[in-house]
Amino acid sequence: MKICSKCGEENTRKKSDICKKCWRKEYNEKNSEHIKEVNQKRYLKNREENLKKSKEWGQNNSEHVAKRRRESYWKHVENERTRRLTNYHFGHLKKSSNCQVCEGDIKLDFHHIPPYRYDRFIITCKDCHRLIEGKLIITSDKQKQLLEKANRLIEKIKNKSFDGNDKKTPKITREELLKLIWISKYEHHKLAYILEWNFGLKPTDVLNLNKEYIDIKKIKVPENFNIKSLDIMPLRNIFKIRALQKAFTKDCKTSGLLETKPNVKFISLSQSKNVSLSKNDASLAKETEGEDGNRK
């Protein structure tokens, strides 16, 4: 009995040392691009028929489809939340903008760029979106030019700082953040600082963020902070961006942070986002409370 030199199983092929499974695996790895093109051509050729068949099958097996959708949602729940946040904050752009690649205005969509965030995207039409994600065969020079343009736009966004990692923007340490929180008089100011620390959002997005988009269990807060303050969200109903920036500057001045870091900005809070502010920092919170006197 002939044995495969790779997997050690029975080999039924006479002129080869490897079995059919191993040969197929090697062939797929070497010719992956060619196989992809062939599959795309076959898909585009029979696209309309396949869509009709899949629609009919879905109607006849609605329970199975619903189950698979639920499984897919919970498997990619973070991505789903990101898409919802994008549509909530930037959905109006679909009506008033054009595709950034081909400048069309039909069936606009958001193409997100890794690392996956709700504000890292380009606006594309349906065809350009499929072209970028490799779901269309490039058959003309125009498509090549559009793909090159899309890649340039994506590279620009990849190189752009969205989380305050600018060299001119100083970082705020954990101790400095706790001082700001305990010096601030108002709950909505404290909440804005904590949201910026946890999520690294833009100032406008901090004000527009709704409670329903936040997983309360994942928010890291100081031990004595009242988590019920989340009920006052969205913060845009209480104050605006100018008021937030003035309050931040005033609290930095009171805490002495403005003297050591004169270029500090609200976005500096996102420099050290997701650092724990819970039980281990309780002593720091008490120290800052003691220094400030009657602060809560």
Q: pLDDT tens, 192-243?
A: 888 787 777 777 777 887 777 776 666 666 665 666 667 777 888 888 888 8
CA 62 – CA 67 distance, rounded (Å): 9
CA 249 – CA 257 distance, rounded (Å): 9
The average pLDDT across 108-135 equals 87
pLDDT at 239: 82
Q: pLDDT tens, 5-61?
A: 878 787 777 777 888 888 888 899 899 888 888 888 888 788 889 889 999 999 999
* Residue 99 confidence class, pLDDT cut points 50, 70, 90: very high
The average pLDDT across 274-293 equals 37
Q: What is the pTM of this model?
A: 0.45
CA 160 – CA 225 distance, rounded (Å): 34
CA 150 to chain centre: 19
CA 142 – CA 205 distance, rounded (Å): 37
* Residue 169 confidence class, pLDDT cut points 50, 70, 90: low
